[in-house]
Structure 1
Amino acid sequence: MPDTLPVHVNRASLHSLEVADRFETDDSFEILLVNHGEPTHVHLHLDDALSELASIEAPNHHVERESERRVRVTVHSHGSTFGKLKIATSYGAETRYVDVDIDEPIETEEPVQVDESLSKPQPRSDGRDDTTGVNAVPWPLLALGLVAVALALAVAAWVGGTAAWLGAFVVLAAVAVATALAVGE
């Protein structure tokens, strides 16, 4: 779950803002706008230094009465930077600045847990017959091939001529090659 920066709006008085002076993170985070009073407009802005590594999904937000709204700040690239997040209510009537420190993520090498079941050989199910080691005959493919050959021979006999018989021979050869390839895999 990403880090969260809570911002309390309208808690002490109308348009008041309560937020930490400083926020540190090493990844994307959320700004949680918590409105304790009347509906309020909140503006969020990252300064130039923060904008180089991060962005806010939208700068202007209307927060309904007695509600919460989450705003995502996405860190796009790794690196470290320090900058200010500007938070303003009611079109600038009240403004606060938060020092935001984005640190380079700490990469930890965690050991990989291997389950003991992975060390045992798994049964093969690659379509081969367990007794002979040869692939099982693909019966639907063989039946389709026989239908194609029978149809080609019937058309050659009905039409007659060298071209028809040559076409039937080509169909027969193609079916034979396809069957051999299917059985041989």
Structure 2
Amino acid sequence: MSSESLSVELNEERPHDLSVAPSFSADSPFEIELDNLGQAVHVHLNIDDELSQVARLSGGNHYVDGGQSLGVEVFVTPKDDPVTGKLKIVTGYGSETAYVDVTINPAPETRQVDVDGAFSKPAKKEAEPSVTEGLSDVFPDVDPNSIPLFLLGAFALALAVGIATVFNSFAITLGAGVVVGGVLVALGISVLE
């Protein structure tokens, strides 16, 4: 709902009296604010054929209690050119009538923003780095082709130490030592290459 409103004062000087501006303009929905300054009153609202092309009242007959205010919504569908028509306001079952020239202007032009076509497609998700790439980041001087050898050696070391710890045997401990030594020599050679 727009912040614009058409104010109508009721019963200001005498019963069924109404006071309203002779003209009003809007370019979006607005509200007719019925402010009753005296005793309770019935108000009838009507729009002519011209204005009904671009505006529609939320209701025509309204009861406004004494000292109260009532807002009546006016729904608007602007055209390319301004449209002017009459809003008829009646109180006291026809004893008082006022007409307001209402102009519905074209809606303000919305500013369009050109969007690059690249923004209309979802961003491509970067692939998670592989274990080899992760280790390359940790050991930048190591040739990426020797990383699988490094992983195999680490696995062999862990297995050899694990077996030697579980079985308390000289032969197994000697075998684990040979594996550890072989892995260290292989890693040394691959790093030096």
Q: TM-score range by the shorter chain?
A: 0.5 to 0.7
Following TM superposition, by how much is the alpha carbon of 1:110 offset from its aligned partner in structure 2, in angstroms? Answer: 7.2
Residue of structure 2 aligned with 1:96, choices 95, 98, 110: 98
Unaligned runs of 5+ in 1: 113-117, 134-185
**Paired-residue identity, %:** 39
The answer to whether the Cα contact below 8 Å between 2:78 and 2:106 also exists between their aligned partners in 1 is no
Partner of 2:134: none
Partner of 1:131: 129
Partner of 1:106: 108
In 2, Cα distance between equivalents of 1:63 and 1:32: 11
So what's the TM-score if we normalise by structure 1? 0.59
RMSD value over aligned CA atoms?
2.5
Partner of 2:62: 61
1:22 partner amino acid: S
In 2, Cα distance between equivalents of 1:123 and 1:109: 30
1:4 partner amino acid: S
2:48 partner amino acid: D
Following TM superposition, by how much is the alpha carbon of 1:106 offset from its aligned partner in structure 2, in angstroms? Answer: 2.2
Following TM superposition, by how much is the alpha carbon of 1:24 offset from its aligned partner in structure 2, in angstroms? Answer: 1.1
Residues 35-55 of structure 1, C-alpha deviations (whole Å, 9 max, x = no match): 001110000000000001110
In 1, Cα distance between equivalents of 2:129 and 2:105: 61
In 2, Cα distance between equivalents of 1:51 and 1:2: 21
So what's the TM-score if we normalise by structure 2? 0.57
Residue of structure 2 aligned with 1:83, choices 82, 85, 95: 85
1:83 partner amino acid: G
In 1, Cα distance between equivalents of 2:34 and 2:69: 5
The answer to whether the Cα contact below 8 Å between 1:2 and 1:27 also exists between their aligned partners in 2 is no
Report 1:168-183 matches (<5 A). none
**How many pairs were matched up?**
122
